[in-house]
Amino acid sequence: MRFLLALTVLWCFAVTRAVAAGVGFEEVKIPNGGEPPLTAGIWYPTDAPATPHALDNASRATTPEASIAGDHLPLVVMSHGGAGWYDGHRDTALALAHAGFVAAAVSHDGDTFKDQSKVLQLWRRPAQLHRLVDYMLHEWRGHGQLDATRIGAFGFSNGGFTVLVAAGGTPDLSTIPAFCVAHPDHDLCESLRQAGIDPHSLPSVPASAWTHDGRIRAIIVAAPAFGFTFGRSGLAGVRVPVQLWSAIDDRHQPHPFYDEAVRDDLPRSPEYHAVRNAGHYDFLPPCNARLAKARPEICDSLPGFDRAGFHDRFNADVVRFFKAALP
């Protein structure tokens, strides 16, 4: 489904707070009760020297399963967009780890590039993010070096929706049918129609189905999907600091129904960034040459927009916000 970032299928690709010399990385499988295990990537500060290696053809300046440097480390959990995977925001995860954070990103079972069989079961995503926090605090080999009072969350597109729910938001998906009557040309509504799904047939989701996580103390939300489904009452429970990002030339989630709806209805004004000339996919890292040739629709920015330069600034603002919000 296009609005769920199906094009990202080819992304195959504190007491002690000093920044370590390098970044360690590991991929883990997280038991998830009766559900399939969750796959997650974890980036963390290490004193081991950086040694570039390859994983799924994505090169990283990281050291696999190195020692973890530091104590009372802050944690940021990360949620990717629809049809993505945990590595979708690797440059941001690396920036956080270089700054002394542990960054843990989950591949959302049922909404990855390998499997979108449960893509409309949006309530599964916040529950999976909650399970990731549990794992990091209690089961990860470095859990004793984390500070459970310093946890943030980062999300893009469907992931932005996910972290809003995790931070206390309660969406109302019953607003989608009326929205699609009024805006049949939007990606969401076109995708439902192309899939042969009547918006009126979408399942009713009680408020109790949405998993909140009070351990999350700050969130960063980029181009959130389904922003219009919250409303003021649905966002009343989001009381943590929020950094909100909007792409002014977002053609997939056009204004004012997504990020602006969230901005206007949050109980506390967020730190808001509207990025001129940026499109929806500009929040994904710059593409390598192979991906740029295969999928120009997610790789080609508008003329004059420097995605690499933007990501340098974006990642610096992400680090700055979390350092201030998770002191």
With a cut of 90, say whether residue 239 has pLDDT above it. yes
Angle at which helix 90-98 crosses helix 307-325, to 10 degrees, equals 50
Does residue 177 have a cis peptide bond before it, meaning omega lies within 30 degrees of 0? Answer: no
Q: What is the pLDDT of residues 12-27, one digit of tens each?
A: 333 233 345 699 999 9
pLDDT band at residue 50, thresholds of 50, 70 and 90? low
Q: What are phi and psi of 219, to 5 degrees?
A: -135, 150
Please report the pLDDT score of residue 300 as a whole number: 92
Beta-ladder partners of 133: none
Radius of gyration of the chain (CA): 19
As a whole number of angstroms, the distance between CA 220 and CA 60 comes to 23
Angle at which helix 124-138 crosses helix 158-166, to 10 degrees, equals 70
As a whole number of angstroms, the distance between CA 26 and CA 160 comes to 24
Count Cβ atoms below 10 Å from residue 2 Cβ, excluding itself.
16
Name the nearest CA neighbour of 25 among 57, 65, 76: 65
Please report the pLDDT score of residue 64 as a whole number: 85
Q: Which domains does the chain have, with CATH numbers?
A: 2-325 (3.40.50.1820)
Please report the pLDDT score of residue 294 as a whole number: 85
With a cut of 80, say whether residue 58 has pLDDT above it. no
With a cut of 80, say whether residue 129 has pLDDT above it. yes
Count Cβ atoms below 10 Å from residue 190 Cβ, excluding itself.
16
As a whole number of angstroms, the distance between CA 263 and CA 244 comes to 7
Supply angle C-alpha 238, 86, 310, rounded to 5: 75
pLDDT band at residue 4, thresholds of 50, 70 and 90? very low
pLDDT band at residue 156, thresholds of 50, 70 and 90? very high
Q: What is the pLDDT of residues 174-206, one digit of tens each?
A: 999 999 999 999 999 999 998 899 999 998 999
Q: What is the pLDDT of residues 75-128, one digit of tens each?
A: 999 999 999 999 999 999 999 999 999 999 999 999 998 999 999 999 999 999
Please report the pLDDT score of residue 158 as a whole number: 97
* Mean pLDDT score of the chain: 91
With a cut of 80, say whether residue 243 has pLDDT above it. yes
Pairing of strands 242-247, 63-64: unpaired
